[in-house]
Amino acid sequence: MSWFKRESGDYEPDPNTPGNGDSERRVRTEGLFIKCQGCRQALYKPDVEANLNVCPKCQHHFKLSARQRIEMLLDPGYELVDGGLRSTDPLNFHDVKPYKSRLRKAQEETGLDDAILNAVGNLGPHSVVVSAMEYSFIGGSMGAVVGETIARAVDRAREGRKPLIVVAASGGARMMEGVVSLMQMAKISTGLAQLDDARVPYICVLTDPTTGGVTASFAMLGDLNIAEPGALIGFAGPRVIEQTIRQKLPEGFQRSEFLLEKGFLDAVVHRRELKDYLIRAISFMQPVA
C-alpha cells in the first residue's frame, strides 16, 4: 500500500520548480474579488471597475471616491482648486481618540486634506464647477473645511457664471466640531440663494449615503436633485426612526426610488447614464452661447 500512503521523506519538492515554494503554492486571490452588498455574489474586481463600479449582476452601485467622481464626470484636463484647507480642531475634541489623530489618519489614508474636492473643467460642451464629497474621510462628515470648500465652489460658480454640480456623500455634520459644523448649513445655503439670484444652475447628485445636516441643507436645494439607484437618503437613520415612532417602516424607506415616488427627488439616474443626463440638463437650463 506504499503507492497509496506516502511515507515521510518519500517526496521532496524542488524549490527551483515554479509553484513548489510555500509562497508560490498559496492561491493568492486577496483583493481580486469583492462581495456585492446587493446580490451577495463574489465579483471579480477588475470587471466591476470596468463597469463604473456597478455590479454587473444586480446593478448595485458601489461607493466611489471624490477623485473617481470627478474623473467620471469631467473631461480630461480638469483642474483641482480650493485645496490646502485643514481643520484646526476648534474644540480640542476627544472621544475614544483625539480628533486630531482621526484627522491625521484620514488624511494619510485618503491623501486628502478633508472630505471634499473641488474641480473646474468641462462637462461636454459646458464649463462647470464640481464639488465632490469623500465618504471614506470620517464618513464624509461636514465640518468647517467641507463647508468653506463648498462655499468657495458656490462663489466660483456665481462669479464665473458656471453651473455648479455637488456630489453629496455624507453621514451629516461633523460632531467633533460642534456648532461650527452646524453653521456650515446656513453658510452654504446662503451662498446657494445668491447663486439662484444670479440664475446660475445648481445640480445636486445624491449618492449612498446622504444623511444628516447635509441632506437638511445643500443636498436638497438644487434646481435639480437627482440620485443614484438604491442610495440611502434622509436625515435620521431608519433604525432611529423606527425606535422613535415604534412602527415598522415601509419597504425601501429612505432609498432613492422611494423618495422619487414621494416627490423629494427629480430623477434617479444610473451611473452609466449620469454624465449624458447632466449634459442634457445643463443644456436645457443654461444653453451654450
Tell me, what DSSP letter sits at residue 255?
A: B
Tell me: is residue 204 an annotated ligand-binding position. no
Apex CA 68: angle with CA 65 and CA 72, to 5°?
140
Q: What pLDDT does 25 receive? A: 44
Is the separation of the CB atoms in 143 and 95 below 8 Å?
no
Average pLDDT estimate for 251-271: 96
Tell me: is residue 39 an annotated ligand-binding position. yes
Report the alpha-carbon distance of residue 69 to residue 71 in Å, rounded: 6
pLDDT digits (tens, 9 = 90+) for 144-184: 999 999 999 999 999 999 999 999 999 999 999 999 999 99
Q: How confident is the model at residue 40 (pLDDT cuts 50, 70, 90)?
A: very high
Which region holds residue 21: left if phi is over 0, alpha if psi is between -120 and 50, else beta? beta
Residues 6+ apart with CB under 8 A from 265: 206, 225, 226, 227, 233, 256, 259
Q: What pLDDT does 136 receive? A: 97
Partners of 268 in beta bridges: 227
pLDDT digits (tens, 9 = 90+) for 198-237: 999 999 999 999 999 999 999 999 999 999 999 999 999 8
Report the alpha-carbon distance of residue 244 to residue 238 in Å, rounded: 10
Q: What pLDDT does 18 receive? A: 53
Q: What pLDDT does 287 receive? A: 78
Q: What pLDDT does 254 receive? A: 95
Helical ranges in 161-202 per DSSP H: 178-197
Q: What pLDDT does 31 receive? A: 73
Is the separation of the CB atoms in 36 and 58 below 8 Å?
yes
Q: What pLDDT does 237 receive? A: 86
Q: How confident is the model at residue 11 (pLDDT cuts 50, 70, 90)?
A: very low
Q: What pLDDT does 275 receive? A: 98
pTM recorded for the entire structure? 0.88
Nearest Cα to 164, choosing from 68, 228, 82, 54?
Answer: 82
Average pLDDT estimate for 241-269: 95
Phi/psi for 129 (5° steps) reads: -110, 130
pLDDT digits (tens, 9 = 90+) for 55-92: 999 999 999 999 999 999 999 999 999 999 999 999 99
Mean pLDDT across the chain: 91
Is the separation of the CB atoms in 84 and 118 below 8 Å?
no
Report the alpha-carbon distance of residue 39 to residue 271 in Å, rounded: 18
Q: What pLDDT does 16 receive? A: 55
Report the alpha-carbon distance of residue 157 to residue 204 in Å, rounded: 14
Alpha-carbon separation of residue 241 from 165, 210, 244, 254, 264 (angstroms): 30, 16, 5, 11, 18
Largest Cα–Cα distance of the chain, in whole Å?
91
